[in-house]
Amino acid sequence: MAGLTHDMLPHVRRKTSLPNPKRDSIEQFRDYFRKEPKVLEMLLNKVKVCADCKKPCAYHQERCNSCGSSLSQVSISHTDNILLSFVLGIGKGKFPFKISVRFQDENCLCFDDPLSVSAVHLCCVPAQEYVPDLRYLFGRPRRGRRMLELLYNSAAKACLENYWGDESFQEFYLGGKVKWKKLLTESELFVLTAAGMNYPPSQYQLHVQFIHGPLLPFHYALFLEGGHFHYKRFFPYSFLLASLNALEDDNRDFRNSHPDYDMDLIIDEMEKFYGISYDKHWHAMISQIKQMQETHAPSAEKDFEYRVVGNQVFDAQAGFHHPGITVKSLQTSDVKRIQSYGRPYDTDEKPSGGSYNFPAENPKELQDWTE
Protein backbone atom coordinates (compact mmCIF):
# COMPACT_ATOMS: atom_id res chain seq x y z
CA MET A 1 0.00 0.00 0.00
CA ALA A 2 1.22 3.54 -0.77
CA GLY A 3 0.01 7.11 -1.06
CA LEU A 4 -1.00 7.95 2.51
CA THR A 5 -4.20 9.95 2.83
CA HIS A 6 -3.74 10.92 6.51
CA ASP A 7 -4.03 14.67 6.96
CA MET A 8 -2.53 14.91 10.45
CA LEU A 9 0.55 12.80 11.16
CA PRO A 10 2.52 13.44 14.37
CA HIS A 11 5.87 15.11 13.73
CA VAL A 12 8.19 15.40 16.70
CA ARG A 13 10.23 18.60 16.57
CA ARG A 14 13.81 18.87 17.75
CA LYS A 15 14.16 20.65 21.08
CA THR A 16 17.45 22.48 20.61
CA SER A 17 19.05 24.72 18.01
CA LEU A 18 22.27 23.59 16.35
CA PRO A 19 25.44 25.49 15.40
CA ASN A 20 26.83 25.94 11.93
CA PRO A 21 29.69 23.58 10.99
CA LYS A 22 33.21 24.55 12.02
CA ARG A 23 34.74 23.32 8.76
CA ASP A 24 33.52 24.10 5.26
CA SER A 25 33.83 21.13 2.88
CA ILE A 26 35.24 17.63 2.92
CA GLU A 27 37.40 18.45 -0.10
CA GLN A 28 39.02 21.35 1.74
CA PHE A 29 39.50 19.00 4.68
CA ARG A 30 41.17 16.42 2.43
CA ASP A 31 43.41 19.08 0.94
CA TYR A 32 44.54 20.20 4.39
CA PHE A 33 45.41 16.59 5.35
CA ARG A 34 46.71 15.57 1.91
CA LYS A 35 50.01 14.35 3.44
CA GLU A 36 48.21 12.19 6.01
CA PRO A 37 47.22 8.91 4.26
CA LYS A 38 45.56 7.52 7.38
CA VAL A 39 43.22 10.52 7.61
CA LEU A 40 42.39 10.28 3.90
CA GLU A 41 41.58 6.58 4.31
CA MET A 42 39.28 7.33 7.26
CA LEU A 43 37.18 9.63 5.07
CA LEU A 44 36.19 6.93 2.54
CA ASN A 45 33.60 4.12 2.39
CA LYS A 46 33.70 1.04 0.14
CA VAL A 47 30.18 0.73 -1.30
CA LYS A 48 27.83 0.09 -4.20
CA VAL A 49 25.82 3.20 -5.11
CA CYS A 50 22.28 2.40 -6.21
CA ALA A 51 21.73 3.48 -9.82
CA ASP A 52 18.08 4.41 -9.14
CA CYS A 53 18.00 6.28 -5.82
CA LYS A 54 21.78 6.91 -5.44
CA LYS A 55 21.91 5.47 -1.91
CA PRO A 56 25.35 4.08 -0.97
CA CYS A 57 24.83 0.45 0.02
CA ALA A 58 27.16 -2.14 1.53
CA TYR A 59 29.27 -3.56 -1.28
CA HIS A 60 27.98 -7.14 -0.89
CA GLN A 61 24.23 -6.33 -0.92
CA GLU A 62 22.13 -7.73 -3.75
CA ARG A 63 19.37 -5.10 -3.50
CA CYS A 64 19.21 -1.50 -2.38
CA ASN A 65 17.72 -1.26 1.12
CA SER A 66 16.23 2.13 0.35
CA CYS A 67 14.34 1.59 -2.92
CA GLY A 68 14.71 -2.19 -3.46
CA SER A 69 16.50 -1.94 -6.83
CA SER A 70 18.96 -4.63 -7.90
CA LEU A 71 22.66 -3.95 -7.29
CA SER A 72 23.90 -6.95 -9.28
CA GLN A 73 25.28 -4.79 -12.13
CA VAL A 74 26.64 -2.01 -9.91
CA SER A 75 30.41 -1.78 -9.50
CA ILE A 76 32.13 -1.22 -6.16
CA SER A 77 33.16 2.39 -5.62
CA HIS A 78 34.00 4.80 -2.81
CA THR A 79 31.96 7.54 -1.15
CA ASP A 80 32.51 10.16 1.53
CA ASN A 81 32.38 8.89 5.11
CA ILE A 82 29.49 11.11 6.15
CA LEU A 83 29.21 9.81 9.71
CA LEU A 84 32.83 10.62 10.43
CA SER A 85 32.31 13.99 8.74
CA PHE A 86 29.52 14.70 11.25
CA VAL A 87 31.90 13.94 14.13
CA LEU A 88 34.59 16.19 12.63
CA GLY A 89 32.20 19.10 12.06
CA ILE A 90 32.56 19.10 8.26
CA GLY A 91 29.83 21.16 6.62
CA LYS A 92 29.32 19.58 3.21
CA GLY A 93 30.38 17.07 0.58
CA LYS A 94 28.26 16.59 -2.52
CA PHE A 95 25.40 17.98 -0.41
CA PRO A 96 25.14 19.80 2.95
CA PHE A 97 25.90 17.62 5.97
CA LYS A 98 23.05 18.93 8.13
CA ILE A 99 22.14 16.75 11.11
CA SER A 100 18.75 16.38 12.79
CA VAL A 101 20.28 15.89 16.26
CA ARG A 102 18.23 14.20 19.00
CA PHE A 103 20.96 13.76 21.62
CA GLN A 104 24.61 14.74 21.85
CA ASP A 105 27.43 15.05 24.34
CA GLU A 106 31.23 14.90 24.20
CA ASN A 107 31.19 11.11 23.71
CA CYS A 108 28.47 10.43 21.15
CA LEU A 109 26.09 11.90 18.60
CA CYS A 110 22.55 10.60 18.04
CA PHE A 111 20.41 11.83 15.16
CA ASP A 112 17.44 11.03 12.93
CA ASP A 113 18.39 8.90 9.94
CA PRO A 114 17.30 10.84 6.84
CA LEU A 115 16.64 7.50 5.09
CA SER A 116 14.11 6.43 7.72
CA VAL A 117 12.65 2.94 7.50
CA SER A 118 10.35 3.49 10.51
CA ALA A 119 8.47 6.11 12.46
CA VAL A 120 11.59 6.57 14.62
CA HIS A 121 14.92 5.66 13.05
CA LEU A 122 17.93 6.90 14.98
CA CYS A 123 21.66 6.46 14.40
CA CYS A 124 24.17 6.86 17.21
CA VAL A 125 27.93 7.19 16.61
CA PRO A 126 30.98 7.57 18.88
CA ALA A 127 32.45 11.06 18.73
CA GLN A 128 35.89 10.62 20.28
CA GLU A 129 36.91 7.37 18.60
CA TYR A 130 37.38 5.99 15.10
CA VAL A 131 35.87 2.49 14.83
CA PRO A 132 35.32 1.48 11.19
CA ASP A 133 32.90 -1.37 11.93
CA LEU A 134 31.55 -3.72 14.58
CA ARG A 135 34.32 -6.33 14.19
CA TYR A 136 36.67 -4.19 16.24
CA LEU A 137 34.41 -4.53 19.27
CA PHE A 138 35.44 -8.20 19.42
CA GLY A 139 39.11 -7.23 19.54
CA ARG A 140 38.57 -5.31 22.78
CA PRO A 141 35.48 -6.89 24.37
CA ARG A 142 35.50 -4.95 27.66
CA ARG A 143 35.92 -1.64 25.89
CA GLY A 144 33.61 -2.83 23.10
CA ARG A 145 30.83 -3.71 25.53
CA ARG A 146 31.06 -0.27 27.11
CA MET A 147 30.97 1.36 23.67
CA LEU A 148 27.96 -0.71 22.58
CA GLU A 149 26.02 0.15 25.72
CA LEU A 150 26.93 3.84 25.43
CA LEU A 151 25.54 4.04 21.90
CA TYR A 152 22.40 2.02 22.63
CA ASN A 153 21.61 3.86 25.87
CA SER A 154 22.13 7.24 24.20
CA ALA A 155 19.74 6.28 21.40
CA ALA A 156 17.20 5.00 23.94
CA LYS A 157 17.48 8.27 25.88
CA ALA A 158 16.93 10.24 22.67
CA CYS A 159 13.89 8.12 21.81
CA LEU A 160 12.36 8.40 25.28
CA GLU A 161 12.87 12.13 25.65
CA ASN A 162 11.92 13.14 22.11
CA TYR A 163 9.36 10.63 20.85
CA TRP A 164 7.88 8.89 23.89
CA GLY A 165 7.72 12.29 25.53
CA ASP A 166 5.45 13.60 22.77
CA GLU A 167 1.73 13.07 23.43
CA SER A 168 0.70 13.09 19.77
CA PHE A 169 3.30 10.42 18.96
CA GLN A 170 2.13 8.31 21.89
CA GLU A 171 -1.50 8.53 20.86
CA PHE A 172 -0.94 7.83 17.16
CA TYR A 173 1.56 4.96 17.40
CA LEU A 174 0.98 3.58 20.88
CA GLY A 175 -2.73 4.23 21.31
CA GLY A 176 -2.09 6.40 24.34
CA LYS A 177 -1.42 3.26 26.39
CA VAL A 178 2.03 4.32 27.57
CA LYS A 179 2.39 7.41 29.68
CA TRP A 180 5.70 9.26 29.71
CA LYS A 181 5.25 10.21 33.37
CA LYS A 182 5.50 6.49 34.24
CA LEU A 183 9.17 6.22 33.36
CA LEU A 184 9.71 3.23 31.10
CA THR A 185 12.01 0.35 31.78
CA GLU A 186 14.59 -0.59 29.18
CA SER A 187 12.79 -3.90 28.55
CA GLU A 188 9.54 -2.08 27.69
CA LEU A 189 11.33 0.02 25.11
CA PHE A 190 13.39 -2.91 23.80
CA VAL A 191 10.36 -4.93 22.65
CA LEU A 192 9.34 -2.03 20.40
CA THR A 193 12.77 -1.61 18.89
CA ALA A 194 15.02 -3.38 16.41
CA ALA A 195 18.52 -2.25 17.38
CA GLY A 196 21.86 -3.39 16.07
CA MET A 197 24.62 -2.87 13.54
CA ASN A 198 25.36 -3.88 9.97
CA TYR A 199 28.49 -5.61 8.74
CA PRO A 200 29.77 -4.72 6.27
CA PRO A 201 28.44 -1.20 6.79
CA SER A 202 27.66 1.45 4.20
CA GLN A 203 29.33 4.09 6.39
CA TYR A 204 32.69 3.22 7.93
CA GLN A 205 32.15 4.65 11.39
CA LEU A 206 30.59 2.43 14.03
CA HIS A 207 26.90 3.21 14.52
CA VAL A 208 23.95 1.67 16.29
CA GLN A 209 20.77 1.63 14.25
CA PHE A 210 17.86 2.18 16.63
CA ILE A 211 14.65 1.42 14.74
CA HIS A 212 11.44 1.91 16.69
CA GLY A 213 8.35 0.32 15.16
CA PRO A 214 6.27 0.46 13.19
CA LEU A 215 8.19 0.26 9.92
CA LEU A 216 6.98 2.56 7.16
CA PRO A 217 4.58 0.77 4.73
CA PHE A 218 7.05 0.47 1.84
CA HIS A 219 9.85 -0.69 4.10
CA TYR A 220 7.70 -3.28 5.87
CA ALA A 221 6.87 -4.76 2.46
CA LEU A 222 10.59 -4.72 1.61
CA PHE A 223 11.34 -6.35 4.97
CA LEU A 224 8.89 -9.19 4.24
CA GLU A 225 10.75 -9.78 0.97
CA GLY A 226 14.08 -10.01 2.78
CA GLY A 227 15.22 -6.49 1.91
CA HIS A 228 15.97 -5.32 5.48
CA PHE A 229 17.78 -6.74 8.53
CA HIS A 230 19.69 -9.14 6.29
CA TYR A 231 20.71 -12.49 7.75
CA LYS A 232 24.37 -12.42 8.84
CA ARG A 233 24.63 -8.78 7.86
CA PHE A 234 22.47 -7.20 10.56
CA PHE A 235 23.74 -8.04 14.04
CA PRO A 236 21.10 -7.56 16.75
CA TYR A 237 22.09 -5.58 19.81
CA SER A 238 21.14 -8.56 21.99
CA PHE A 239 23.60 -10.85 20.17
CA LEU A 240 26.43 -8.31 20.29
CA LEU A 241 25.89 -7.57 23.98
CA ALA A 242 25.71 -11.25 24.98
CA SER A 243 28.85 -12.01 22.95
CA LEU A 244 30.91 -9.15 24.35
CA ASN A 245 29.83 -9.97 27.90
CA ALA A 246 30.90 -13.59 27.45
CA LEU A 247 34.27 -12.61 25.99
CA GLU A 248 34.82 -10.06 28.75
CA ASP A 249 34.06 -12.64 31.45
CA ASP A 250 36.42 -15.10 29.75
CA ASN A 251 39.13 -12.43 29.39
CA ARG A 252 39.40 -13.22 25.69
CA ASP A 253 39.58 -11.16 22.53
CA PHE A 254 39.93 -11.99 18.83
CA ARG A 255 42.96 -9.87 17.97
CA ASN A 256 45.36 -12.82 18.09
CA SER A 257 43.15 -15.74 17.02
CA HIS A 258 41.38 -13.83 14.23
CA PRO A 259 43.46 -10.78 13.29
CA ASP A 260 41.25 -10.17 10.23
CA TYR A 261 38.10 -10.39 12.40
CA ASP A 262 36.29 -12.79 10.09
CA MET A 263 32.65 -12.48 11.20
CA ASP A 264 31.60 -15.97 10.09
CA LEU A 265 34.33 -17.48 12.27
CA ILE A 266 33.37 -15.26 15.19
CA ILE A 267 29.70 -16.29 14.83
CA ASP A 268 30.69 -19.96 14.79
CA GLU A 269 32.98 -19.65 17.81
CA MET A 270 30.47 -17.68 19.87
CA GLU A 271 28.04 -20.60 19.53
CA LYS A 272 30.64 -23.35 19.87
CA PHE A 273 32.39 -22.03 23.00
CA TYR A 274 29.72 -19.87 24.67
CA GLY A 275 26.37 -21.20 23.44
CA ILE A 276 25.43 -17.80 21.99
CA SER A 277 23.54 -18.44 18.76
CA TYR A 278 23.40 -15.70 16.16
CA ASP A 279 20.49 -17.53 14.50
CA LYS A 280 18.38 -17.50 17.67
CA HIS A 281 18.96 -13.79 18.27
CA TRP A 282 18.30 -12.91 14.63
CA HIS A 283 15.10 -14.97 14.36
CA ALA A 284 13.85 -13.55 17.67
CA MET A 285 14.39 -10.03 16.30
CA ILE A 286 12.53 -10.85 13.06
CA SER A 287 9.58 -12.21 15.04
CA GLN A 288 9.65 -9.16 17.26
CA ILE A 289 9.50 -6.80 14.25
CA LYS A 290 6.44 -8.62 12.90
CA GLN A 291 4.72 -8.47 16.28
CA MET A 292 5.67 -4.82 16.62
CA GLN A 293 4.10 -4.09 13.25
CA GLU A 294 0.88 -5.95 14.04
CA THR A 295 0.49 -4.18 17.37
CA HIS A 296 1.52 -0.62 16.56
CA ALA A 297 1.09 0.05 12.82
CA PRO A 298 -1.63 2.74 12.88
CA SER A 299 -2.70 2.53 9.22
CA ALA A 300 -5.21 0.33 7.42
CA GLU A 301 -5.78 -0.20 3.70
CA LYS A 302 -8.38 2.57 3.67
CA ASP A 303 -5.63 5.05 4.60
CA PHE A 304 -3.84 4.59 1.28
CA GLU A 305 -4.73 5.77 -2.19
CA TYR A 306 -2.69 3.21 -4.14
CA ARG A 307 -1.69 -0.43 -4.19
CA VAL A 308 1.76 -1.38 -5.49
CA VAL A 309 2.28 -4.70 -7.27
CA GLY A 310 5.90 -5.19 -8.33
CA ASN A 311 6.78 -1.91 -10.04
CA GLN A 312 3.21 -1.10 -11.04
CA VAL A 313 0.86 1.32 -9.28
CA PHE A 314 -2.90 0.71 -9.08
CA ASP A 315 -5.82 2.61 -7.58
CA ALA A 316 -6.52 1.01 -4.19
CA GLN A 317 -10.29 1.31 -4.52
CA ALA A 318 -11.11 1.11 -8.23
CA GLY A 319 -8.15 -1.06 -9.20
CA PHE A 320 -7.19 0.71 -12.42
CA HIS A 321 -3.55 1.13 -13.45
CA HIS A 322 -1.60 4.41 -13.00
CA PRO A 323 1.27 4.10 -15.53
CA GLY A 324 2.35 7.72 -14.93
CA ILE A 325 3.00 7.26 -11.19
CA THR A 326 6.26 5.65 -10.09
CA VAL A 327 6.74 3.55 -6.97
CA LYS A 328 9.77 5.66 -6.06
CA SER A 329 7.77 8.92 -6.11
CA LEU A 330 5.12 7.43 -3.82
CA GLN A 331 7.73 6.03 -1.46
CA THR A 332 9.56 9.37 -1.27
CA SER A 333 6.33 11.24 -0.60
CA ASP A 334 5.16 8.82 2.11
CA VAL A 335 8.51 8.84 3.92
CA LYS A 336 8.61 12.64 3.92
CA ARG A 337 5.08 12.85 5.31
CA ILE A 338 5.71 10.32 8.08
CA GLN A 339 9.26 11.00 9.30
CA SER A 340 10.25 13.61 11.86
CA TYR A 341 13.72 14.05 10.36
CA GLY A 342 14.61 17.74 10.12
CA ARG A 343 11.52 18.98 11.95
CA PRO A 344 10.78 21.82 12.31
CA TYR A 345 11.23 22.54 8.60
CA ASP A 346 12.94 25.68 7.35
CA THR A 347 10.88 28.49 5.84
CA ASP A 348 11.41 26.96 2.38
CA GLU A 349 9.82 23.69 3.64
CA LYS A 350 13.13 21.82 3.65
CA PRO A 351 14.46 19.82 6.62
CA SER A 352 16.35 21.91 9.15
CA GLY A 353 19.48 20.88 11.00
CA GLY A 354 22.94 21.92 11.95
CA SER A 355 26.27 20.57 13.11
CA TYR A 356 27.65 18.63 16.06
CA ASN A 357 28.36 20.76 19.13
CA PHE A 358 31.63 19.04 20.09
CA PRO A 359 33.61 18.27 16.90
CA ALA A 360 37.10 16.82 17.18
CA GLU A 361 39.74 19.47 16.55
CA ASN A 362 41.95 17.04 14.66
CA PRO A 363 41.06 13.57 13.28
CA LYS A 364 44.44 12.29 14.50
CA GLU A 365 43.22 12.94 18.04
CA LEU A 366 40.46 10.33 17.66
CA GLN A 367 41.22 7.06 19.42
CA ASP A 368 41.85 4.68 16.52
CA TRP A 369 40.61 1.12 17.13
CA THR A 370 42.43 -0.20 14.05
CA GLU A 371 45.83 0.31 15.67
- Does 25 fall in a domain? no
- Does 77 fall in a domain? no
- Does 72 fall in a domain? no
Domain CATH number, residue 226: 3.30.428.10
pLDDT score at 8: 66
- Does 309 fall in a domain? no
Q: What angle in degrees, to the nearest 10, is found between the helix axes of 237-249 and 278-296?
A: 150
Strand bridging mode 234-236 / 193-198: antiparallel
Per the structure, the complete domain to which residue 240 belongs is given by 98-295+331-354
- Does 260 fall in a domain? yes
pLDDT score at 181: 42
pLDDT score at 177: 55
Strand blocks (E) in the chain: 2-4, 23-25, 44-49, 56-58, 76-80, 90-92, 101-104, 108-112, 118-126, 129-130, 193-198, 208-215, 234-236, 304-309, 312-315, 367-368
CA R_g for the chain: 21
- Does 70 fall in a domain? no
pLDDT score at 269: 92
CA torsion angle 85 90 95 101 (round to 10)? 70
Number of domains the chain is built from: 1
pLDDT score at 36: 93
Spans of the chain, pLDDT less than 70: 7-8, 176-187, 256-260
pTM: 0.89
Q: What angle do CA 96, 133, 142 make, to 5 degrees?
A: 125
pLDDT score at 280: 98
Q: Which residues contact 191 (CB under 8 A, 6 or more apart)?
A: 288, 292
Q: Which residues contact 358 (CB under 8 A, 6 or more apart)?
A: 104, 105, 106, 127
- Does 238 fall in a domain? yes
- Does 27 fall in a domain? no
- Contact indicator for 325, 312 with CB cutoff of 8 Å: no
